[in-house]
Amino acid sequence: MSLPDTLYGQTALVTGASRGIGLAIAQRLGRMGARVAICARDAQRLEQAASAMRSEQIAVLPVPANVSRSEDVARLVSQVERTLGPIDILVNNAGIGFFGPGHEATEQKWDSVLDTNLKSVFLICRAVVPGMMKHGGGHIINISSLAGKNAFAGGAVYCASKWGLQGFSFCLAEDLRASNIRVSVVCPGSVLTEFSPHAGKDDSKMLQPEDVAHAVAALVTQAPQSFISEVLIRPTQKP
C-alpha cells in the first residue's frame, strides 16, 4: 500500500542514517514526500543508503559528518538548508553503545558514548532550532531507548547517555512549545540491527527498524493541537 505524500514540500534531516533505524526512518519520511538529508560518518555506506533511496524516487542529500563535532554540525546544517531549504523535521538517531560494568569503562569509551548519544543532540538542536523558529515551527524527534528508563547490569555508560537524552529532550520541549516546535522522544526496546548484541533472542520476535520509523511517521503527522512527548515501543512477545 502506498503512503500519502503527507510531508510533501517539507525537509527532514536524519542522523545516523546509513543503516538500521536511521535508514528506515529516512526512507519512510521520503516515501511520505519529504526531501531527506541523511548523515553518518561512513561516507561509503551513506552513499549506498542514498542510492537505495534514489531508486525509490526519493529526493535525498547525503552529507558525511561526525555529529559530535560542532564544526561538522555547522557545515551539515548549512549545506542542508542551502540545498533543500529550511529544516522542518529533525530526527536525532546517531548513537553508539558500550555494554559492560561501568567501573571498567575507559574514559575514552565514556566520552565516545556520551559525545555521540547526547552531546550531538545538543549540537544539532542548537544549530537547527533558530531556522525552525524563523519559519514558524517544526518537529524534533530524538531516538532514545528503553535503556533511558530502566537500569540493567552492564548498561551504566549507555544508560547514562540515554537518561541524559530524556532529560534534555523534555526540558527542550518546554523551552520550544511556544515557538510551535514539538520535541518528542522515541524509546524502543531491542531492535534487530547491527547495533547491539542479541545472542539467544528470537530474531522474528524482535522489533524491526520499520517499527521505529512507523512511530516517527505518526509523530510528524500529528494534528496541530496535539503533542506526543514520548513513545515507548516494545515487542508483542518477549524475544
The residue from 77, 87, 88, 158 that is catalytic is 158
φ/ψ of residue 202, rounded to 5? -85, 110
- Would you give the end-to-end CA distance of the chain in angstroms? 28
User: Rounded to an integer, what distance in angstroms lies between the CA atom of residue 92 and that of residue 28?
Assistant: 15
Residue burial 115-150, b: 16+ Cβ < 10 Å; e: rest: bbbbbbbbbbbebbbebbeeeeebbbbbbbbbbbee
> Which cell goes with 173?
520541549
8 is catalytic: no
DSSP-derived secondary structure for 5-18: -TTTT-EEEEES-S
**Closest by alpha carbon to 99, among 58, 61, 52, 151?**
151
DSSP-derived secondary structure for 150-196: ---TT-HHHHHHHHHHHHHHHHHHHHHGGGTEEEEEEEE--BSSSSS
Q: Helices 209-219 and 20-31, interaxial angle, to 10°?
A: 40
Reading phi first (left if > 0) and then psi (alpha if -120 to 50, else beta), residue 200 is in left
Q: Residue 68 in 3-state DSSP?
A: coil
Which active-site residues does the annotation give?
A: 158
